[in-house]
């Protein structure tokens, strides 16, 4: 299929009117009609139903619309990127990260982005899940990387990057430091570092409750660096997603009976103009081999 | 016949052609004949799919010799972004579109190109493969074929569409491919079921196409001799 065929179909699906769609695309109506006909032939089904003055999408057309739009937008961004690289004119890119996302995950894709788009200015925001979603909704961030955002906003687009389990992380002097795995029940009496900012806090607390661990002592924490510091110095233990809390001075154990996983996704807002820097980072993150992380 | 066995038998056929001393076209034909014998229903679905693509002139809008090759910037199998400009700065290039690491014809074609890759490099030419799959899968194709050239990821087939090379896999074909055990949605990271027409373009250092091969019949690929000759002639 050809880009212009899809562009004409997208225009008709928006206007539901062949004349207006042709005007919008600056093309004669017979050309637009012919191009869409050819697209329908290639796809093997009618996308549009024309009834006298009314035009609407067929069921097949409704099904194909998001698929064709996705491919079309990807092609448009491919072209824009080539132009942006030549002109060197690149808009700043704002990325919102939840508190639980380790920047290490993004270093290589960001390095590539900066290498390709030399003038690029990056702006990072951090927040709890609701704040991350808010940054996207209000247009304060172009993209976000976070665990589940629990949002029902239909314009929120997401691409799952990887799914990872949660492990117990303890300091080097902790009684469990040499072990590979520990039963959840053995954590009775421990002091938990409570990561209230984590996307998985609610299911985690529910899990502790069902295992009779709801009343364990805890420290309320607001950021990951603080959690890791206290773990390292043996002032508490943490249950962290696998991509977090790696490092010297930290021991990681599988928790038997802890059925807690999270999916880290890339988020964007559909229908909003995506800058070429944003489109490139989306491609880098979606193409990456995350099996190496989780 | 169980569905799993189709893929196993295709693997057997692939192993056979790997040791065959025959031109690429004969190897591709051999696998196509095997598929037809193993699953006439699959082969007939392919025939109907290709008939429709030909009737609707799929791929005919792709850039031709003399046209400029549209620029791209795509990540290779290690996540490194490669652009056409940077590649052409080092000499003419052959750009080879693949459907995916699972496609038997792409695997045979990649093998055939890999067999010529040292010669290509010795002559100061380059090869770049492009496919719509994520790095996890482009790495598999690269490792299996021992390709010395990069395999780029074209997410959502955006670059392929800019070239007029994208086809949608019909429900009938999709059911056959899925039944064979190939999970295209997982490989590509979307559920659109789009595939590129596996075309080959030879591009000179001025960015213009000097030779191309485009056939919606994905069982047909540019002969390696033609590819080598075109690369040799390109300036």
- According to the model, what pLDDT value does residue B1 have? 45
pLDDT over 80 at B184, yes or no:
yes
Do A117 and A258 fall within a single domain?
Answer: no
Do A81 and A212 fall within a single domain?
Answer: no
Angle between helices A59-87 and A276-287 (to 10 degrees): 110
Mean pLDDT calculated for residue range B198-225: 98
Q: Name the residue in chain A with its Cα closest to that of B137.
A: A289
Residue B61 and residue A2: Cβ atoms within 8 Å? yes
A82 vs B contacts (CB less than 8 Å): 70-73
- According to the model, what pLDDT value does residue A245 have? 67
The CATH number of the domain holding residue A171 is 3.40.190.10
pLDDT tens for A33-78 read 999 999 999 999 999 998 877 899 999 999 999 999 999 999 998 8
The pairing of beta strand B166-168 with beta strand B151-153: unpaired
- According to the model, what pLDDT value does residue A169 have? 95
More confident residue, B156 or A84: B156
Do A211 and A285 fall within a single domain?
Answer: no
Do A83 and A8 fall within a single domain?
Answer: yes
CATH class of the structural domain B3-233 = alpha beta
Q: Name the residue in chain B with its Cα closest to that of A77.
A: B158
B71 vs A contacts (CB less than 8 Å): 82, 85-86
- According to the model, what pLDDT value does residue A259 have? 87
pLDDT tens for B67-107 read 999 999 999 999 999 999 999 999 999 999 999 999 999 99
pLDDT tens for B214-228 read 999 999 999 999 999
pLDDT over 60 at B3, yes or no:
no
CB A5 within 8 A of CB A33: no
Domain segments of chain B: what residues?
Answer: 3-233
B156 interface with A at CB cutoff 8 Å: yes
> Virtual CA dihedral for A208, A214, A218, A223, nearest 10 degrees?
40
CB A125 within 8 A of CB A97: yes
- Confidence tier at A250 by pLDDT (50, 70, 90): very high
B159 interface with A at CB cutoff 8 Å: yes
By residue range, what is the domain housing residue A246? Answer: 163-262
Mean pLDDT calculated for residue range B5-28: 91
- Confidence tier at A233 by pLDDT (50, 70, 90): very high
Residue B193 and residue A2: Cβ atoms within 8 Å? no
Last residue of a domain, one of A61, A87, A113: A87
Least confident of A184-188, A281-285, B221-225: A184-188
Strands (E), chain B: 73-75, 81-83, 93-97, 126-131, 151-153, 166-168, 194-196, 200-203, 209-213
> Virtual CA dihedral for B211, B217, B218, B224, nearest 10 degrees?
-40
Instruction: Give the angle B28-B32-B38 at the CA atoms, nearest 5°.
Output: 145
Mean pLDDT score of chain A, rounded to an integer? Answer: 92
Last residue of a domain, one of A87, A111, A131: A87
Count other C-beta atoms under 10 Å from residue A129's C-beta: 22
Last residue of a domain, one of A38, A60, A87: A87
d(CA A3, CA A287): 23
- Confidence tier at B7 by pLDDT (50, 70, 90): confident
- According to the model, what pLDDT value does residue A273 have? 84
**How many CA atoms does the CB half-sphere of B215 hold within 13 Å?**
9
* DSSP label of A273: P
Residue B167 and residue A1: Cβ atoms within 8 Å? yes
Element (H, E) at A193: strand A192-195
Do A105 and A129 fall within a single domain?
Answer: yes
- According to the model, what pLDDT value does residue B21 have? 92
Q: How far is CA B105 from CA A63, B4, B158, in A?
A: 30, 19, 22
B140 vs A contacts (CB less than 8 Å): none
pLDDT tens for B117-152 read 999 999 999 999 999 999 999 999 999 999 999 999
Angle between helices B24-38 and B3-19 (to 10 degrees): 160
Do A113 and A147 fall within a single domain?
Answer: yes
- According to the model, what pLDDT value does residue A246 have? 76
- Confidence tier at A82 by pLDDT (50, 70, 90): confident
Residue B83 and residue A116: Cβ atoms within 8 Å? yes
- According to the model, what pLDDT value does residue A26 have? 97
The CATH number of the domain holding residue A71 is 1.10.10.10
Q: Which two tokens stand for residue B119?
A: 């010669």
Do A138 and A113 fall within a single domain?
Answer: yes
Do A182 and A42 fall within a single domain?
Answer: no
Do A31 and A46 fall within a single domain?
Answer: yes
- State how many domains chain A has: 3
Mean pLDDT score of chain B, rounded to an integer? Answer: 95
Do A43 and A171 fall within a single domain?
Answer: no
Among B115, B144, B122, smallest CA distance to B23 is for: B115
Least confident of A235-244, B93-102, B199-208: A235-244
B86 vs A contacts (CB less than 8 Å): none
pLDDT over 60 at A203, yes or no:
yes
Least confident of A93-107, A280-294, B67-81: A280-294
pLDDT over 60 at A237, yes or no:
yes
pLDDT over 90 at A253, yes or no:
yes
- According to the model, what pLDDT value does residue A151 have? 83
Q: How far is CA B184 from CA A83, A220, B126, B141, B215, in A?
A: 31, 44, 28, 15, 21
Element (H, E) at B86: helix B84-88
B191 vs A contacts (CB less than 8 Å): 67
Residues 175-214 of B with CB under 8 A from A: 189-194
Least confident of A203-207, A218-222, A246-250: A246-250
Do A158 and A270 fall within a single domain?
Answer: yes
As a whole number of angstroms, the longest Cα–Cα distance in chain A is: 79
Would you report the helix, strand and coil content of chain B in percent, each value rounded to 5? 50, 15, 35
* DSSP label of A54: E
- According to the model, what pLDDT value does residue A218 have? 86
Do A10 and A29 fall within a single domain?
Answer: yes
pLDDT tens for A166-182 read 999 999 999 999 999 99
Backbone angles phi and psi of A92, in degrees to 5: -65, 155
- According to the model, what pLDDT value does residue B4 have? 54
Q: Which two tokens stand for residue A234?
A: 């043996």
Question: For chain A, what percent of residues have pLDDT higher than 70?
Answer: 99
Backbone angles phi and psi of B57, in degrees to 5: 60, 35
Question: For chain B, what percent of residues have pLDDT higher than 70?
Answer: 98
Residue A64 and residue B134: Cβ atoms within 8 Å? no
């Amino acid at each position: 299929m050809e880009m212009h065929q899809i562009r004409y179909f997208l225009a008709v699906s928006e206007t539901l009117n062949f004349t207006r769609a042709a005007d919008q695309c600056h093309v004669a109506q017979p050309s637009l009609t012919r191009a869409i006909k050819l697209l329908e032939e290639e796809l093997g089904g009618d996308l549009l139903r024309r009834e006298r003055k009314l035009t609407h999408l067929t069921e097949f057309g409704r099904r194909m619309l998001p698929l064709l739009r996705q491919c079309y937008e990807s092609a448009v961004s491919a072209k824009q990127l080539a132009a942006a690289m030549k002109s060197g004119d690149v808009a700043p890119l704002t990325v919102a990260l939840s508190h639980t996302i380790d920047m290490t995950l993004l270093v290589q894709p960001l390095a590539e982005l900066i290498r390709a788009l030399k003038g690029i200015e990056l702006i990072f925001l951090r927040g709890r899940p609701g704040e991350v979603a808010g940054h996207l909704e209000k247009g304060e961030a172009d993209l976000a990387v976070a665990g589940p955002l629990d949002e029902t906003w239909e314009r929120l687009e997401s691409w799952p990057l990887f799914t990872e389990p949660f492990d117990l992380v303890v300091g080097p002097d902790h009684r469990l430091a040499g072990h590979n795995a520990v039963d959840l029940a053995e954590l009775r009496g421990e002091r938990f570092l409570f990561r209230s900012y984590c996307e998985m806090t609610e299911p985690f607390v529910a899990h502790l409750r069902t295992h009779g661990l709801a009343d364990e002592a805890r420290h309320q924490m607001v950021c990951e660096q603080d959690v890791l510091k206290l773990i390292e110095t043996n002032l508490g233990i943490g249950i962290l997603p696998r991509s977090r809390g790696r490092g010297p001075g930290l021991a990681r154990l599988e928790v038997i009976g802890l059925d807690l996983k999270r999916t880290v996704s890339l988020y964007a807002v559909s229908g909003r103009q995506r800058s070429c820097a944003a489109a490139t980072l989306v491609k880098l993150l979606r193409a990456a081999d995350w099996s190496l992380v989780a | 016949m169980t569905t799993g066995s189709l893929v196993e038998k295709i693997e057997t056929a692939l192993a056979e052609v790997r040791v065959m001393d025959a031109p690429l076209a004969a190897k591709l034909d051999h696998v196509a004949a095997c598929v037809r014998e193993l699953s006439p229903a699959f082969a007939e679905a392919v025939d109907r799919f290709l008939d429709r693509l030909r009737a609707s002139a799929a791929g005919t809008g792709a850039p031709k010799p003399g046209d400029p090759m549209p620029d791209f910037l795509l990540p290779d199998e290690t996540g490194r972004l490669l652009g056409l400009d940077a590649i052409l700065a080092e000499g003419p290039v052959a750009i080879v579109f693949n459907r995916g690491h699972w496609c038997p014809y792409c695997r045979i074609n990649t093998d055939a190109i890999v067999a010529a890759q040292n010669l290509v490099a010795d002559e100061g030419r380059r090869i770049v493969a492009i496919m719509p799959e994520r790095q996890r899968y482009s790495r598999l194709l690269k490792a299996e074929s021992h390709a010395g050239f990069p395999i780029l990821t074209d997410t959502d087939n955006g670059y392929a569409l800019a070239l007029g090379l994208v086809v949608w896999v019909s429900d009938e074909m999709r059911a056959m491919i899925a039944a064979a055990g190939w999970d295209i949605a997982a490989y590509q990271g979307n559920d659109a079921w789009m595939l590129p027409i596996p075309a080959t373009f030879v591009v000179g250092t001025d960015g213009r196409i000097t030779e191309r091969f485009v056939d919606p019949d994905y069982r047909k690929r540019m002969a390696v001799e033609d590819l080598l000759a075109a690369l040799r002639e390109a300036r």
